Amino acid sequence: MDRREFIEKGVLAAVGTTLLGACASDRQAKSNTQTDPAKMKQDMASHSFDSLEEKVSLLGYGCMRWPMIDDGKGGQIPDQEAVNDLIDKALVCGINLFDTSPMYNGGLSEKATAAALSRHPRSSYYLSTKLSNFGPENASREASMRMYENSFRQLQTDYIDFYFLHSIGSRIEDFQTRYIDNGMLDFLVEQRRIGKIRHLGFSFHGNKKNFDYFMSLHEKYHWDMVLIQMNYVDWKYATLNNKNATNAEYLYGTLSSMGIPVLIMEPLLGGRLAKIPEPLVHKLQERDPRRSVASWAFRFCASHPGVLSVLSGMTYMEHLEDNLSNFAPLEPLTVEDVDFLQDIAKIMMEYPVVPCNDCKYCIPCPYGIDIPGIFNHYNKCVNEGSIEPDSQDPAYRKARRRFLSGYDASVDPLRQADKCIHCGQCIEKCPQEIDIPHELSRIDHYAETLRRESGL
Ligand code: SF4
Ligand code: SF4
């Protein structure tokens, strides 16, 4: 079944043509200028789930990108005052799912999230976290148990609503080591039985064969929900960037057909779908001038039935407010909108960006390389059209200047691509399976060529 057929048969059948069938003039009339928190809370799209008393908000708070400030000792800590403001606003406007992990924000996310949430009744929000026992030093039974128990302490709670095996799928052997050989999965199933964990699932990055394997375990472990990477680019093109990935269309379709609720990560591809190439921004604006670029990506995810929550890492108040305007209330995409976004995705695949979603799992690099910073700068220049392949192009000199000055401004010269020694230690940490040293070499070569031509 192709995507259009799937949406027409699945989505329209599930939600009725009045939702996805809304015409452009209907949409124009429904411009969302809502700012009253109580009304937003009432309008927030949400779903009932299992035996949970309150519906789960379709917009979930991804707590991996809290704003950070200097800790006064040369490090960084979450800006607790800002986190409190963001969480207060989210709760009052109807967001009630908060997803974190022991490894987010340099290991400080659970604590910062709980510090803000504990100022509110425990029954007013759902907590989601993960067993992030990556690496041999964390995968033993003892270390995994410590991580599990520590999450309860950090989150100041005696039960967790959603608990995930974190990022399984790239290698079955790792899953075996992290969850089977050490008995952790059996332990977690028991924790679910006694109510310490209310729902158990996994987050997935990997290929189709591995996904099918985890689905085959459903009968034994009963996955309550699965967290997948889904957005309008990965819907059909995830495997184009990473041959060891799976297109979201397949992941979502399989889970839907098995009746397993879907949670979505990376709806914005780490922010890349909020910073798309300029010509594509114009196309989106032409189609609906009221909508932000990011809103298209969120509504793509939220318009699919069977999606329990779309997790978004909203670092600043303006991100939160823009998202609230998309979900409270949600105005689902039409089938034509979805087709239009697929055309945009197809064009986007022609741009030579590095498929980095800024998750920061690869840092710190032992040699100090600012891997995500370098990729972010390069991608930004690609999207702005500052990377001109042809040195005869009249815009080439301007583009060259923009790339070089922006590079030094955004990435400390001591942490740039030329300092990478190709040790390869970062490769395994990247869920997008980017060949990081290779990409750094490519960017370094490009920067060096520009410098040489500029006489720098
Ligand atoms: S390959 Fe380069 S970027 Fe990766 S860990 Fe080694 S030095 Fe750091
Ligand atoms: S290179 Fe990979 S691990 Fe590093 S920030 Fe980008 S996507 Fe994440």
Centre a 10 Å sphere on the Cβ of residue 209 and count the other Cβ atoms it contains.
11
User: In this predicted structure, what is the pLDDT of residue 391?
Assistant: 64
Ligand 1, atom 4: nearest CA belongs to which residue?
426
> Residue ranges of the domains in the chain?
3-348, 371-454
Residue that the structure tokens 């997803």 belong to: 99
10 Å CB burial of residue 198 (0-12, 13-18, 19+) is buried
Distance CA(379)–CA(222), nearest Å, equals 40
Q: Ligand 1 centroid vs 138 CA: distance in angstroms?
A: 21
Beta bridge partners of 229: 265
Is residue 310 within a helix (H) or strand (E), and if so which, with residue range? strand 307-312
Q: Which amino acid is at 411?
A: V
Ligand 1, atom 6: nearest CA belongs to which residue?
423
What SS3 class is residue 74? coil
- How is residue 44 written in tokens? 């927030």
For 179-193, letters b (16+ CB in 10 Å) and e give beebebbebbeebbe
Residue that the structure tokens 């759902």 belong to: 126
Query: Cα(first)–Cα(last) distance of the chain, in Å?
Result: 55
Closest atom of ligand 1 to 419 CA is 7
Ordered per-residue pLDDT tens for the chain, 456 residues: 444 444 444 443 333 332 333 333 333 334 455 679 999 999 999 999 988 889 999 999 999 999 999 999 989 999 999 999 999 999 999 999 999 999 999 999 999 999 999 999 999 999 999 999 998 999 999 999 999 999 999 999 999 999 999 999 989 999 999 999 999 999 999 999 999 999 999 999 999 999 999 999 999 999 999 999 999 999 999 998 788 899 999 999 999 999 999 999 999 998 889 989 989 999 999 999 999 999 999 999 999 999 999 999 999 999 999 999 999 999 999 999 999 999 999 999 988 889 998 888 899 999 999 999 999 999 989 888 777 656 666 777 778 888 898 999 999 999 999 999 999 999 989 988 899 999 999 999 989 988 887 766
What is the per-residue DSSP string for 28-68? HHT------HHHHHHH--EE--TT-SSPEESEEEETT---E
CB contact at 8 A, 244 and 207: yes
Closest atom of ligand 1 to 423 CA is 6
Backbone angle region of 167, left / alpha / beta, with phi > 0 → left and psi within -120 to 50 → alpha = left
Q: Reduced to 3 DSSP states, what percent helix, strand and coil does the chain have, rounded to the nearest 5?
A: 50, 10, 35
Q: Report the residue among 266, 353, 354, 356 best suited for mutation to probe ligand 2: largest number of ligand atoms under 8 A from its CB.
A: 356
For 428-452, letters b (16+ CB in 10 Å) and e give ebbbbbbebbebbeebbebbeebee
Distance CA(443)–CA(372), nearest Å, equals 13
State whether the beta carbon of 434 lies less than 6 angstroms from ligand 2.
yes
Q: Report the top-level CATH class of 3-348.
A: alpha beta
pTM of the model: 0.85
CB contact at 8 A, 58 and 45: yes
